[in-house]
Amino acid sequence: MPGQSGAAAPLEQVIAAMAAQQRYVGGRLHGDLADHIPSYRAVPRELLGQIWHRHFQRALTVLREGTVPAPEDFDEADVARDRVARGVPLDEGLRAFRRALSAIRDLFIAEATQHGLDPGLVVDRTKCLWELADVASLRIAAVHRQAEVASALSDARRRADFLRGLLYGTLSAVEIHSGAAIYGLDLSRPYRALRAVPNGDLGPDALERSLEAHARRNGRGALLTVLPIGRPAAGCRPCVRSARRVRPERPVLAGGRRLRTGTRRVADRPLSAPTGGGG
């Protein structure tokens, strides 16, 4: 296999020359990402520098050893959580990673050519870098999706906690105003509490989408959550006149005031979709 004994010294010279340019190439990459991947403009330069250092040093190890780490050896969980928190889509995260690996590959080929590295070794290590890009991309995609699921579950729990506090009157005025800003509720207009269970083959997600669409048609948003099995879905939606009403329609929010609305005041009724219109 290329890269044994006599080739080790020239290869180390190439690696040393690459290491000397890590900061310079990283600076160019940062500007490139800002120009071509808009979501990365919100990522602090210091954090990008840390990620770049990790990728660069891993690539140098692959060039030196001629082997690619196993997928489970890539610790990308912290990076994935940060990307999800900043709203960086997975496809843009992968594009940024591949741009970084391409920059490292181009640097390797340039330095290998300048130092007269054996062509067979150049081809072998270039293949290793491509394999590194493939293996790492799969791992990044997997941990990113895991982070998205974890974030979605956390958001759902916070939304459910806010809604329960709103319905049972346990939230302070500050908490109500903060939650309203987060979930898009208009405190200047009244909302009604509603509980519903899916009808027939309709699942909770479809029911939630139907209720949200009904609210949007009337010009306002709804706040919905799915309660544990055995309890109906709960939410508060804008007050609208409808052909099918869920009674009693008692205000949950009125001018930002906190009202106590217990579950006994909200009727349980199967709904497939709200009907009617006219706000």
pLDDT tens sequence across 159-212: 888 888 888 888 888 888 888 888 878 777 777 777 766 666 777 777 777 777
> Does the pLDDT of residue 34 top 80, yes or no?
yes
Question: Which pLDDT does position 246 carry in this prediction?
Answer: 32
pLDDT of residue 28: 93
- Average pLDDT value for residue range 80-84: 79
The helix/strand/coil state of 276 is: coil
Residue 120 has pLDDT above 90, yes or no: yes
Residue 52, pLDDT score: 93
Lowest mean pLDDT among 35-49, 62-76, 222-236, 254-268: 254-268
Q: How far apart are CA 173 and CA 183, in angstroms?
A: 15
Size of the chain in residues = 279
More confident call, 107 vs 168: 107
Q: Residue 184: what are its φ and ψ, rounded to 5°?
A: 75, 30
Convert the pLDDT of each residue in 220-241 to its tens digit: 667 777 665 444 444 554 443 3
Q: State the Cα–Cα distance between residues 239 and 277, nearest whole angstrom.
A: 11
For residue 219, the model assigns a pLDDT of 66
Q: From start to end of the chain, where are the E strands?
A: 191-198, 223-225, 233-238, 251-254, 257-258, 268-271
- Report which of 203, 264, 207 is spatially closest to residue 237, judged by C-alpha positions: 207
How many helices (H) and strands (E) are present in the chain, helices listed first?
8, 6
At residue 262, the pLDDT reads 31
Contact 62, 132 (CB under 8 A): yes
The pLDDT of 68-90, averaged and rounded, is: 80
| Phi and psi torsions of 122, nearest 5° | -60, -45
Q: What is the pTM of this model?
A: 0.62
What's residue 247's pLDDT? 35
Task: Locate 119 and state its tokens.
Answer: 């062509």
Section 255-270 average pLDDT: 34
| Cα atoms in the Cβ-side hemisphere of radius 13 Å centred on 157 | 6
